[in-house]
Amino acid sequence: MTDPHVARLRRLDACAVSDALDRLGLPGCVTGLRSALPGRRIAGHVHTVKLRAGTPPPGRPPVHLGAAAIDASGPDDVIVVEQSTGIDAGCWGGILSRGAQRKGVAGVICEGLARDVDEAREIGFPVFCRGYTARTARGRVYEDATDVPVEVGGFTVEPGFYAICDSSAAVFVAPQDIAAVLAAAEDIAAREAEMTRRLETGEAASAVLGANYEYMLKRD
């Protein structure tokens, strides 16, 4: 059964949720990500994958990065991968996209490069990342841990956080803040919908986009 908070989050967009964070004085908006499927939006609970540069320590059994996160995830989930090493190597690829899609995972957010991007597009799996590459992770990066805190755009994302991501940005919300953020975001979205309605009736933009818009994020 879908978490009601996730269901509400899916009806919003990243801009409304980011505006809600601003209204409440909270961080969590990460910009500069590229969407492999422009126009697609994802939302859900976070499972994380932390990668490190180099090869696994001696004696550590080899694991395919991201596989454990896929196994732990389902339809209400978003996988978030940290590869903030600056290394030209894929932190997500086509087989991972297929495995995640098979589990019903909403999508993946990569603080790093992704590969097999055309394959992700062909199967319709949403991938958000810093850029694209063909270089394999083998011998370049390895999975350090799953479901631990990771850094995305300088913001610490913890397992169990809520995430929404579209072509504008990724936005992360802590569980203790989600109710307040959703309420604020829904209020903002409703106000903007009314402004859109007024514009479509021919009302002047200067009348619609006045103080009501400029002070919409003002905290009480």
Please state, in angstroms and as integers, the Cα–Cα distance from residue 185 to each residue in 146, 188, 198, following that order. 30, 5, 20
Mean local confidence (pLDDT), 35-50: 97
Q: How far apart are CA 187 and CA 208, in angstroms?
A: 17
Residue 110 lies in a domain: yes
Residue 198 lies in a domain: no
pLDDT of residue 196: 87
Residue 206 lies in a domain: no
Residue 98 lies in a domain: yes
Please state, in angstroms and as integers, the Cα–Cα distance from residue 112 to each residue in 84, 127, 146, 202, following that order. 6, 11, 16, 45
If you compute the radius of gyration of the chain from its CA atoms, what whole number of angstroms results?
A: 19
Other Cβ atoms less than 10 A from the Cβ of 96: the count is: 28
User: pLDDT tens across 56-114, in order?
Assistant: 989 888 789 999 999 999 999 999 999 988 899 999 999 999 999 999 999 999 999 99
All residues at 6 or more sequence positions from 205 whose CB lies less than 8 Å from its CB, including other chains: 199
Question: What stretch of H or E contains 141?
Answer: strand 141-146
Of 119, 126, 148, the C-alpha closest to 52 is 148
pLDDT of residue 210: 76
Residue 160 lies in a domain: yes
Q: What average pLDDT does the chain have?
A: 94
Mean local confidence (pLDDT), 163-185: 98
Residue 186 lies in a domain: no
Domain of residue 71 covers: 4-180
User: pLDDT tens across 144-156, in order?
Assistant: 999 999 999 999 9
Q: How far apart are CA 184 and CA 117, in angstroms?
A: 35
Residue 217 lies in a domain: no
Instruction: Check: CB of residue 164 under 8 Å from CB of residue 29.
Output: no
Q: How many domains does the chain have?
A: 1
**Helix intervals (H) in the chain:** 4-10, 14-24, 67-72, 94-102, 117-123, 178-200, 205-208, 211-214
Of 163, 146, 165, the C-alpha closest to 33 is 165
pLDDT of residue 145: 96
Residue 99 lies in a domain: yes
CA 27 to chain centre: 14
Q: Is 15 helix (H, G, I), strand (E, B) or coil?
A: helix
CATH number at residue 54: 3.50.30.40
Mean local confidence (pLDDT), 18-23: 97
Instruction: Check: CB of residue 28 under 8 Å from CB of residue 196.
Output: no
